[in-house]
Structure 1
Amino acid sequence: MIRYLERERREREREMEEEQLDYVLVPLGLSVMGIYHAWLLYAVLRTPRRTVIGLNAESRHQWVYSMMADPLKNGVLAVQTIRNNIMASTLLATTAITLSSLISVFVSSTSNSEDTASKLIYGNKTPVISSIKYFTILLCFLLAFLCNVQSIRYYAHVSFLVTVPASGNRRDSIEYVARNINRGSFFWSFGLRAFYLSFPLFLWIFGPIPMLLCCCIMSFALYFLDTTTSFTRHLHTHSFKEEMKNDNIESACQLP
């Protein structure tokens, strides 16, 4: 009897230790992702050319100037390019809402297999934590869906504006189109980040330790994907200066 009680006490202590892991490691992993993206946002706002997001925003701005300089000549190319972006956003939005539906069906049909699945989990196995896990994944995909829908909205709006001749108040109209196409791209990036966040949330189903490792590895990998090299910055700056020089030459030639 004493041995049985001692064994029960040890099992309860081990279960309590496992439950405490979720309360420590999961916030730590989310903090790693949050700190990295806070730094990325600061870098995009302060030094945009150090990041791929900021550099691409400047490239799109330059692209809009090139397309709207001669809409009769570049109109088809501009509309086809924006259509490709709409198709990419549509694909991600469809994937997000499909995965959300599958998760809802999965949660409603796993009540009978809860004991078998709990053997693979090292961590908190209470029904409340399990519901929170699936809810966060579902919320992540719904956020991705909404962001991609907003991206489609801006791209569809730009597809009409980019073919409008920019005469008269030329700079203001081009700036408006460039701002809208960058907003569509930013929403697309937000939706893609929501997909990235779903990976550690999926691994949280199998415990907080895989979730923390995934957050650290993903933040390390995203740093190299989101930052630019000095060669890339120099190439972009050189091409941008050459484009501005050619525009100035063309403008001077058109003067009487």
Structure 2
Amino acid sequence: MGAQGMGLTWKEEHLDFVLVPSGLLIMLGYHLFHLHRCINIPETTVIGYENHNRRAWVARILQLEAKERSQAITVIGSNLSAATSLASISLALSSLIGAWIGSAYHNNYITSRIYGNTSATILYLKYIALLSCFIVAFACFVQTARCFVHANFLISTPSCEMPVRNVESAVISGTNFWIAGLRSLYFATNLLLWIFGPIPMFVCSVITVLLLHYLDKNTTPLPPYNAPLSYEDSKKIHREMKASPGTTEHHEESQDHRDGT
């Protein structure tokens, strides 16, 4: 009975050192694989598909005069509000979750029903890992808000020939930080289940990877769009047309050629 009890005790205590790293490696391995796809074959991912559409959106918006871009400012403002809200939630949860973990583990009723290591060291690791994920998410959402604020300034700048690539870079960077913040919350969800033992955490990691693999995969062809004239190019053409009225037909043919017609 003593040897059997020692065997069961050893298995329970070391289960965290097997399942938890395995779950984290599964999550990390999938995200590295997904990052490789986003960089090399972005058209097969939802992120690449959405970024393609955002580039088209930015190019079309910058064709308008600054006073006509109120709809674009509204769109960016809604994303800015969402990023600010999630940043506040992440910061609040990083404090509340830690306090809840500490109070829960002083409860012998809860501790006795966790199948895994319940030592003070493991408790400390759980708290630090969970807190780190929420802090990373908070930082990413703050950077998202910064990028969208910058894009808002660029789009709303009056009487300015703004390069398309500047606004596009700000919008895409904000989106990438947004995605990184959400992925940090996914990791935090897995680590949150580690509170209830390594088995729920490992199962959650496997289920999360399967769901993300389905959600991140894109099978829809990228919608073709012909890059329009940038705002500065269109202003230049208008000035040339006013200076030389006889060149109107030539510029119209050039525009038709760029639009693919």
Query: How many angstroms apart in 2 are the aligned matches of 1:176 and 1:198?
Result: 33
Query: How many angstroms apart in 2 are the aligned matches of 1:167 and 1:49?
Result: 33
Instruction: Provide the alpha-carbon RMSD of the alignment.
Output: 2.4
Query: How many angstroms apart in 2 are the aligned matches of 1:164 and 1:200?
Result: 43
Query: How many angstroms apart in 2 are the aligned matches of 1:165 and 1:44?
Result: 35
Q: Alpha-carbon deviation of 1:244? A: 5.1
Partner of 1:133: 126
1:203 and 1:211 in contact (8 A); partners too: yes
Q: Alpha-carbon deviation of 1:100? A: 0.9
Once the two structures are superposed, residues 149-208 of structure 1 have per-residue CA deviations (whole angstroms, 9 ceiling, x without a partner) of 00000100110101236866x6xx210110111001100100001111112111111111
Q: Percentage identity across aligned positions?
A: 34
Q: Alpha-carbon deviation of 1:44? A: 0.4
Q: In 2 relative to 1, CA 13–75 (structure 1 residues): closer, same or farther, beyond 3 Å?
A: same
Q: Alpha-carbon deviation of 1:89? A: 0.3
Specify which of 112, 136, 156 is matched with residue 143 of structure 1. Answer: 136
Q: In 2 relative to 1, CA 143–120 (structure 1 residues): closer, same or farther, beyond 3 Å?
A: same
Give the TM-score normalised by structure 2. Answer: 0.83
Partner of 2:204: 214
Instruction: Please say if 1:45 is aligned against 2:39.
Output: yes
Specify which of 141, 146, 150 is matched with residue 153 of structure 1. Answer: 146
Matching of residues 162-241 of structure 1 within 5 Å: 162-164=155-157, 173-229=163-219, 232-233=220-221, 236-238=222-224, 240-241=225-226
The letter for the 2-side match of 1:228 is N
Query: How many angstroms apart in 1 are the aligned matches of 2:74 and 2:15?
Result: 51
Instruction: Please say if 1:65 is aligned against 2:59.
Output: yes
Query: How many angstroms apart in 2 are the aligned matches of 1:68 and 1:212?
Result: 47
Partner of 2:16: 22
Instruction: Please say if 1:103 is aligned against 2:89.
Output: no
Query: How many angstroms apart in 1 are the aligned matches of 2:104 and 2:196?
Result: 15
Query: How many angstroms apart in 2 are the aligned matches of 1:123 and 1:202?
Result: 14
Query: How many angstroms apart in 1 are the aligned matches of 2:106 and 2:17?
Result: 26
Once the two structures are superposed, residues 16-71 of structure 1 have per-residue CA deviations (whole angstroms, 9 ceiling, x without a partner) of 11122111111111111111101110000001111111111121111111111113
2:143 and 2:174 in contact (8 A); partners too: yes
Query: How many angstroms apart in 2 are the aligned matches of 1:90 and 1:56?
Result: 21
Query: How many angstroms apart in 1 are the aligned matches of 2:21 and 2:125?
Result: 13
Higher helix share: 1
2:59 and 2:228 in contact (8 A); partners too: no
Query: How many angstroms apart in 2 are the aligned matches of 1:70 and 1:97?
Result: 38
Once the two structures are superposed, residues 185-241 of structure 1 have per-residue CA deviations (whole angstroms, 9 ceiling, x without a partner) of 100100001111112111111111111111111101001111111xx21xx333x24
Q: Alpha-carbon deviation of 1:12? A: 2.4
4+ runs of 1 displaced by more than 6 Å?
none
Query: How many angstroms apart in 2 are the aligned matches of 1:74 and 1:190?
Result: 32
1:94 and 1:145 in contact (8 A); partners too: yes
The letter for the 2-side match of 1:12 is M
The letter for the 1-side match of 2:54 is R
Query: How many angstroms apart in 1 are the aligned matches of 2:253 and 2:4?
Result: 87
Give the TM-score normalised by structure 1. Answer: 0.85
Q: Alpha-carbon deviation of 1:72? A: 3.4
Q: Which ranges of structure 1 fall in alignment gaps of 5 or more residues? A: 1-6
